[in-house]
Copies of this chain bind each other. A is one copy, B any other.
């Protein structure tokens, strides 16, 4: 690999002159510049990224950290962050936090291989985040409300979402509403559940313990939890799934059990993933403003990078997307 030294030598100029020429500094004469550029071309020379970053102590790159790069749910988010990064002249790399403490993501955070990061990865602990973040290394976290120096949070109002979903079912006449939850330690899950409870209490409805099952936010979990619920004999008229994935699994279990959706049981999800529109029946769900929140996170990150003042945390409103998995109940015997 050719270095700038080789280029300088070939061009017959000093190292620094070569450097100036290569970075397009105006103080080199056109002739010298051309000589240097020609030498670089001949040697197939390109700057060494690390050396540059080391010297500059800036990378012009931000990282987007996700639990699992392969999840399709983040499409919109990635797109929005990418747009913002691009328009600020920054590069974006995505890295996975799979592997926890030893993951690429944590390495990037700790070793400051980028200028800042947007994090959406449950398995990165608050401690790591708080430790890595500083005013010179801002981090935006999108899956919890943790804040600190250089660490701010952008979240979607999951409580409101849970409330809206449940309230919608109640308004449609449902009185017996089950909740299939995600992982117990998940922030998203707990706020959605809080919203569910608020709507239930407000309507004077009771949550039945037997209808509160966990599906771990995955399709298979929703399927199993639903099977289990169905086997218990008492069937709710509607089920609020903590996310769409579980709802899709749940619908499958219902159909296999001979229940039609929404004829026998109504279903509502959360997230509005791409698939929600395509499953049968199309899923009524709470739409997450992924593009907006990603965009906001990106903008905030750049504001912090420019030493501007911003709030500690932001909470975005959510809306319900009506499709066909919920039916109006005309009359039901109150339990």
| A interface, CB within 8 angstroms of B | 1, 44, 46-54, 59, 61, 63, 68-72, 74-79, 82, 86, 91-96, 98-99, 103-104, 107-108, 110-113, 131, 136, 274-275, 278-280
User: A229 to B184, alpha carbons, bound, how many Å?
Assistant: 53
CB distance from A114 to the nearest CB of B (A): 9
User: A274 to B219, alpha carbons, bound, how many Å?
Assistant: 14
B76 A46 Cβ-Cβ under 8 A: no
User: A53 to B113, alpha carbons, bound, how many Å?
Assistant: 10
**Copies of this chain present:** 2
Contact of A278 among B86, B94, B112, B279 (CB under 8 A): B279
A78 B70 Cβ-Cβ under 8 A: yes
User: A103 to B275, alpha carbons, bound, how many Å?
Assistant: 30
Q: Which partner residue on chain B sits nearest A276 by CB separation?
A: B278
Which applies to chain A's interface (DSSP): helix, strand, loop or mixed? Answer: mixed
Within 8 Å CB of A49, what residues of B? 107-108, 111-113
CB distance from A139 to the nearest CB of B (A): 15
Within 8 Å CB of A113, what residues of B? 49-50
User: A53 to B59, alpha carbons, bound, how many Å?
Assistant: 14
User: A104 to B49, alpha carbons, bound, how many Å?
Assistant: 12
A94 B93 Cβ-Cβ under 8 A: yes
User: A95 to B62, alpha carbons, bound, how many Å?
Assistant: 11
Contact of A82 among B48, B53, B70 (CB under 8 A): B70
User: A64 to B108, alpha carbons, bound, how many Å?
Assistant: 16
User: A320 to B266, alpha carbons, bound, how many Å?
Assistant: 36
CB distance from A86 to the nearest CB of B (A): 6
User: A122 to B70, alpha carbons, bound, how many Å?
Assistant: 20
User: A78 to B47, alpha carbons, bound, how many Å?
Assistant: 29
Contact of A75 among B47, B71, B82, B98 (CB under 8 A): B71
Within 8 Å CB of A86, what residues of B? 98-99
